[in-house]
Every structure is written in C-alpha cells, then in structure tokens.
Structure 1
C-alpha cells in the first residue's frame, strides 16, 4: 500500500515516531531526534506498488527494501534507535 500522508505517527515497541515530509521522502524521528529517512526507491515495483528503503542522516542506504513501508520503517528503528533494546531471546540458561 502506498504511503501518501505528509505527516503521521507510528507506534513501535512502546515509542511514538513521526514520519514527516511526503513522497518521495519522509524524515523519521522521535522526540525531535532525526534517525533517517524513508524514501521511495522506485515509484512502481513488480507488483505495481512503490518500493521503499531507508537512508541514514549521512546518506547511507538501508539494507531492507520492499513495498511494506511500515515494516521497513519499524526494522529501521530497531537498528538505529538506541532506546530500543534487542528482543529477549527467551533463554534462561547460564553460560558456562
């Protein structure tokens, strides 16, 4: 589904993020901290939907691209937001 809003909020792992801008680039931030950008890499992909990816503030392209902008954005926040803790593995065994 194409992202057409200019500004919206996204809840993820207990935080509220802001996407601001509009096609082809949205700034991705939380509480005034810019983490990077969601960009339209291609306006029409194989299935006729836009293809999205991310950019860091210094311009490095992310490693995930696809048509699901919301999942791409959440994966990006998992990687770049230091407030997000790595997922708990569930293992309670001690290392020896």
Structure 2
C-alpha cells in the first residue's frame, strides 16, 4: 500500500495502491480535497451509476482502465481505478463488469 500526502496547504490527497504481481491487476483508491476551493466532480465524460441507495456515482471506461467516481464525505472527491500493468495494457478479457468494479470499490471505502 502507498499513501501520498501532497501539499497540505493546497491539496490533500491520499492514494491507496494495490498490485497483484502475478496477474498485473492494479487498484488505486484516491481521495482528494482542495483546501482553497471545493472540488467538484466533472461528469461530462462519465456514466451515472448508483453507489448505494443514498449516493450517486459515475462510471468511466477506457481501453486500459475502468473507474468509479463519487463525492465523498467532508468535501473529498473519491476515485476508484482498476487497470493492468501500470495502465499500459488493454483490459480485454480482464475487464470487470460495473457491478464487480463497484463491489471492489465498496470493499475499500
């Protein structure tokens, strides 16, 4: 696991990273908060999805990664990102369903 704390006067950011060395699958859970102004989730390139019965989230997919984004507690922006081999390989048959990705994200909250 890796925890990064950027400039605490401007941005708080915590990055939790997990890598399965056998499969190359990686997960990053990123919490960030801008101190000077609230971070807002930009949704123009994301598909709406329910995190749970109370929380709205958004899903984004590319050839090399899948992610779930949501506005967290106390002004934090949460992102859960899944990819393979440093985000350099296409997901292809290792792609997760949206519900599998969401289940993983719920495990790390």
TM-score range (shorter-chain normalised) is 0.3 to 0.5
TM-score (norm 1): 0.42
TM-score (norm 2): 0.38
Q: Which has the larger radius of gyration?
A: 1
